[in-house]
A and B are shown apart, each in its own frame.
Chain A
């Protein structure tokens, strides 16, 4: 695996039990890249994401994050790989009984020896990154949906991960908030060199942030297109890709 490759997916088959959603999927994500996984409903985007972050073992094939395989790693080796990744869930998945600062200090407390004052200072810097430094003492229920998504990204950044996985970050957000979130993603990539893997089907966001996309298809059970979103929109001959990027009915 080259130095510039962050994630390598090799001949992956994914699904649940006897239901196979994806077969023989292979691709690479480069360091510092914003990589977007696209596709229609039920094509296996979220299943692929669960395979990437180790929540679901592949039916076949491998997912390597900087050479480490979450599916087979255990103990310290697994924790080492997990420390390199952060995940922002679609709902935010913030802990409702904890303040935003406590949500962020929790993993820091578990994984480092830093004193409480230092943990709080880190939480403040992470919230500053996402523009929520004045909401450290708020509970998730006390802030808006867009703020919750930003707070979830701040929590995912708690341990300085090298790669952030985001599941539908723009879903349910108004265009302005969605654009702000896109700007934040670009900002974090440019300033901190974080690699992003994003599952999305919000076209505006995809054009704004994606360096490269892959499109999954339910019938093909795999990737039907790969490249820059603008290129796929303008040049793809695949009927589904064309309809997707031009928002045409099937």
Chain B
């Protein structure tokens, strides 16, 4: 059976529908290749209703598409295909018993209610995994010793450099422009009340307490958390995680702990850097509006206390652990296949940003309650 040349015949040359004994008789003829079958598929199957007989005595050639058409007609015609040439019949026998079985593997589509339930169940399963992961991390950090239990400091510094030094440009630019935009937006309305110097208070406090930590953590989630997820996810797909396990090396200690520790250490540094550049952006606007540097500096130091800086830095430690941990967790949760790594990477960024906002809200309430 060979692939045929391009189909040249018309539909009427390939298929005739005639009245048959108590039903219809389909007469097929010519070369049943992919082009021919594309022309007659709908018509042939449309006609094959009720009692059908198929006369295939004039079929000269039949490729995979032709075989599929004959199978489908046999299924509908109840096995009454007559006149097949021996060489075509021999191939056709390969598909004997071709009543297409119900495919039990084909998963039924969920109803909306089932979908909601499934998403809810997955959410709580994920929450449980996150809590278990947190516990595992606590155990890992609490049990560092020498030998097989030692921390791989070299990996910590490499990750620190990748997540920190190489992020300086993007963190700096975003923070500087955020401070600049805030000052631009706030200065005109405050000027109406003659208090435009308080733009420094606004920019300084917002950057140090909220925007510096949040912007830094989000950049970290996009740059480093996703990279952790992709790296560990690829290792999972390539069975490198299994290899670590069978070598007696705990992936949590070997892969996750260095990244989480690097995240915890690097984020506060980046936040200080982001704070400084954010305030610098605000200062630039105020300098352009004619305020002297000394006045701006005095206003800033009177507005911001060590407590405010500490409030931002404490968030930094938590955000760093959260972003790095979420990246690693999503990497370890990667399933089979090439697309799974992409899914994990996306999920790490989305989950990190969601948790950053939730945790920041918790910080806001706690700081308010304790007067920090």
State the Cβ distance, B96 to closest chain A Cβ, in Å: 9
* Nearest opposing residue in chain A for B38, CB measure: A113
The answer to whether A97 touches B337 (Cβ under 8 A) is: yes
* Nearest opposing residue in chain B for A140, CB measure: B337
If A128-B95, A161-B3, A162-B3 touch, does A96 touch B339 (CB 8 Å cutoff)? yes
* Surface stretch bound by B, among A33-41, A131-139, A217-225: A131-139
List the A side residues contacting B65 at CB < 8 Å: 108, 112, 114, 118, 122
Q: Is B298 in contact with chain A by the CB < 8 A criterion?
A: no
* Surface stretch bound by B, among A22-30, A44-52, A152-160: A152-160
The answer to whether A141 touches B37 (Cβ under 8 A) is: no
List the A side residues contacting B107 at CB < 8 Å: 137
User: B99-122 CB contact bits vs A (8 Å, 1 = yes)?
Assistant: 011011111000000000000000
Which B residues between 272 and 326 are near A, CB-CB below 8 angstroms? none
Instruction: Tell which of B3, B64, B100 touches A122, judged by Cβ atoms closer than 8 Å.
Output: B64
List the A side residues contacting B94 at CB < 8 Å: 128-129, 191
Q: Is A117 in contact with chain B by the CB < 8 A criterion?
A: yes
Which B residues between 20 and 38 are near A, CB-CB below 8 angstroms? 34-35, 37-38
State the Cβ distance, A243 to closest chain B Cβ, in Å: 32
Q: Is A125 in contact with chain B by the CB < 8 A criterion?
A: yes
Q: How far is the CA of A124 from the CA of B95 in the complex (A)?
A: 10
The answer to whether A128 touches B64 (Cβ under 8 A) is: no
Q: How far is the CA of A34 from the CA of B100 in the complex (A)?
A: 31
Q: Is B91 in contact with chain A by the CB < 8 A criterion?
A: yes
* Nearest opposing residue in chain B for A121, CB measure: B68
Q: Is A150 in contact with chain B by the CB < 8 A criterion?
A: no
The answer to whether A118 touches B41 (Cβ under 8 A) is: yes
The answer to whether A84 touches B337 (Cβ under 8 A) is: no
If A96-B336, A118-B69, A138-B105 touch, does A160 touch B37 (CB 8 Å cutoff)? no
The answer to whether B3 touches A160 (Cβ under 8 A) is: yes
Instruction: Tell which of B35, B45, B105, B335 touches A136, judged by Cβ atoms closer than 8 Å.
Output: B105
Residues in chain B within 8 A of chain A (CB atoms): 1-3, 34-35, 37-38, 41-42, 45, 63-65, 67-69, 71-72, 90-91, 94-95, 98, 100-101, 103-107, 335-340
Instruction: List 6 A–B pairs whose Cβ atoms lie within 8 Å, in order of A's numbering.
Output: A96-B338, A97-B337, A112-B35, A112-B65, A113-B38, A115-B42
